[in-house]
Amino acid sequence: MKKIFIMTDLEGCSGVCRFEQTREDGPRYDEARELLTRDVSACVDGLLDAGVDDVIVRDGHGRPFNFVAELLHPRARHIVGNWPDRSTPAVWDGCDAVILLGYHAMAGTPDGVLYHTQSSRAEKKYWYNDRECGEIGQMALMAGHFGVPIIMIVSDDAGCREARDFLGDEIVTVSTKTGLAREGAVLLAPSEARQRIREGAREAVSHIPRCQPFTMELPIRGRMWFPDKEWADKVTPRKSTRVDDHTFEATFDNAFEILQF
């Protein structure tokens, strides 16, 4: 019996290339929600075609209520709304692999569509053991804490390249767009993107034995940096120490804590 966990974001799914599509008050947000949900369903179809028995999907963008309920795939379980404890055993126990769907490149990536790390407004950056990580690396570290590998990513060209850099060439990459600017891209038609997502998911299942969990030596030394002091002033430290006007540092005993600065 195989269990796959799909972790989703919104910026890297088909048809999305402007921040107004990704924000609840944006004029095209509802369109983006539908695009994301249909991409997820295509991924679930591919996994089921490959013989996966259990698919659980996490809505992970912003305040996580982005899926269009009427379009949810009937053969998958979906986590939406607030999820205070991401280590819930019902999610991770018995999980064979993770797919990152709709992810984007880290902050400052020149050819990345809608690039950022955690906040597109604060423009902050993160380093772990002196290696800069965007959300792709962060999610891979969290999955690695449970011994689970990432087997596939759906993103733009830059995000796919970043995933290979962190996770190796065995990861299946499906690009939905090529960046021209931060808010401009050459897009695949959503129908074509979904066909590639479906085929990629089917292939990715066979890569499970060849993909390794992403880990770092413990404890992990973390650094969070803000270009704007005013954003740094808003931080209430949980584990971190402020070392200058722009920077916070923390030590994490395990990879699942790495966002808890």
Is the predicted pLDDT of residue 201 greater than 70, yes or no? yes
pLDDT of 88 reads: 65
pLDDT (average), residues 206-210: 97
Structural domains present in the chain: 3-111+135-215 (3.40.50.10780)
pLDDT of 93 reads: 87
pLDDT of 162 reads: 98
pLDDT of 60 reads: 86
Q: What proportion of the chain, given as a percentage, has pLDDT over 70?
A: 97
pLDDT (average), residues 249-260: 96
pLDDT (average), residues 171-183: 98
At 31-57, the pLDDT tens digits run 999 999 999 999 999 999 999 999 999
3-state SS record for the chain: CCEEEEEECCCCCCCCCCHHHCCCCCCCHHHHHHHHHHHHHHHHHHHHHCCCCEEEEEECCCCCCCCCHHHCCCCCEEECCCCCCCCCHHHHCCCCEEEEECCCCCCCCCCCCCCCECECCCCCEEEECCEECCHHHHHHHHHHHCCCCEEEEEECHHHHHHHHHHHCCCCEEEECEEEEECCEEEECCHHHHHHHHHHHHHHHHHHHHHCCCCCCCCCEEEEEECCCHHHHCCCCCCCCEECCCCEEEEEECCHHHCCCC
pLDDT of 109 reads: 98
pLDDT of 65 reads: 85
Highest averaged pLDDT of the listed ranges 22-36, 52-66, 85-99? 22-36
Per-chain mean pLDDT for the chain: 95
Higher-confidence residue: 64 or 210?
210
pLDDT of 248 reads: 98
pLDDT of 84 reads: 59
Is the predicted pLDDT of residue 86 greater than 80, yes or no? no
